[in-house]
Amino acid sequence: MPYPVEPMLAVPGELPRDGSHYALEIKWDGIRAIAYVDADATLRLTGRKGADYTQRYPEVAELVPRLAGHRVVLDGEIVAFDPAGRPSFARLQRRMHVTDPGSTLLFSLIPIAYLPFDLLYLDGYALFDLPYADRRTLLESLDLDVPQRFPGDTVELLEVTRGQGLEGVVAKRLDAPYRQGRRSEWWIKVKNLDTREVVIGGWRSGKGRRSGGVGSLLMGAFGPRGLAYLGHVGTGFTETVLDDLYALLVPLEIGDSAFAEPLPPEMTRDSRWVRPELVGEVAFTTYTQERRLRNAVWRGLRPDKVPAEITL
């Protein structure tokens, strides 16, 4: 059984013109996870770069009895749902840093679901070189709750996801193999809202109710010269999130800016600099001419991402 498996990644883009060569899947607003079920009925769960999620999301263990007699490796998404049944990245945030949710109320208050969408190994056979269509057929033959796939020419699906407040769709070529750790044009993510990962390089103190705490974050991404400034984000936070960020940022404080270029003067007043070790995600409308994120809204931390891979 291959271990650990690095997930295959999609490229951003638009729906393919020739949809007959593709299938469409809903883009779930969660985090990727590879599940391994072995012959002795043990389950392991890993994220990007082999991060161990097994204890963090014990609900995934429900796969084991359903796969009795099989040895499998699955690719899928860990998702938390809101009361209306929509994926909620904000709710998932409350589970991401809890290593033993069984000892807290969060386990029952914010359950998660594991949605498998690809099969990479089955009963002694690695399936990486099989076409996507064949891997999905094998996956759907197992006793699992597999998210639905749609024909690639179902163009109205994107509009449906937009109306339901979902993130978008992923178009996958029917004849595509699975390539570990590669971002491939065989998979195309088509989003209803632009989002991107950012590295936190500093923060500015808040005013009013936020006085003394975090008011906004200074964001960047790595380029040829180092950490490039992408702007600041000051909306999308709850009071709990701001408190959590403050506790994480203070131990990372450094004396000078880690950004490669000088920041606008209005951003340096009362700014506090940190080692660029935390990755977050923001939604935004567009880039400005200076390559700043316009109308950025905070979505949450991404502990499943490594700062060095957040690039321009």
| Strands 214-223 and 253-254, bridge-based pairing | unpaired
Contact 220, 198 (CB under 8 A): yes
Which residues, listed in sequence order, are joined to residue 274 by a DSSP beta bridge?
253
Q: Half-sphere exposure of 200 toward its Cβ, with a 13 Å CA cutoff?
A: 32
| Strands 253-254 and 226-233, bridge-based pairing | unpaired
CA 94-42-37 angle, to 5 degrees, is 85
Q: What whole-number distance in Å separates Cα of residue 40 and Cα of residue 166?
A: 38
CA-closest candidate to residue 190, choices 218, 224, 229, 150: 150
The single-letter code of the amino acid at 163 is G
Give Rg (Cα) of the chain.
Answer: 21
The tokens for 143 are 């006793």
Q: What whole-number distance in Å separates Cα of residue 168 and Cα of residue 34?
A: 21
Name the phi and psi angles at 226, rounded to 5.
Answer: 125, -150
27 noted as active-site residue: yes
The tokens for 111 are 């359950």
- 283 Cα distance to chain centroid: 13
Contact 169, 161 (CB under 8 A): yes
Query: DSSP class of residue 211?
Result: B
DSSP characters over 146-205: PPPEEETT-THHHHHHHHTT--EEEEEETT----TT-EEEEEEEEESSEEEEEEEEEEEE
- Which residue in the list 27, 172, 191, 305 is annotated as catalytic? 27
Q: Kindly list the catalytic residues.
A: 27
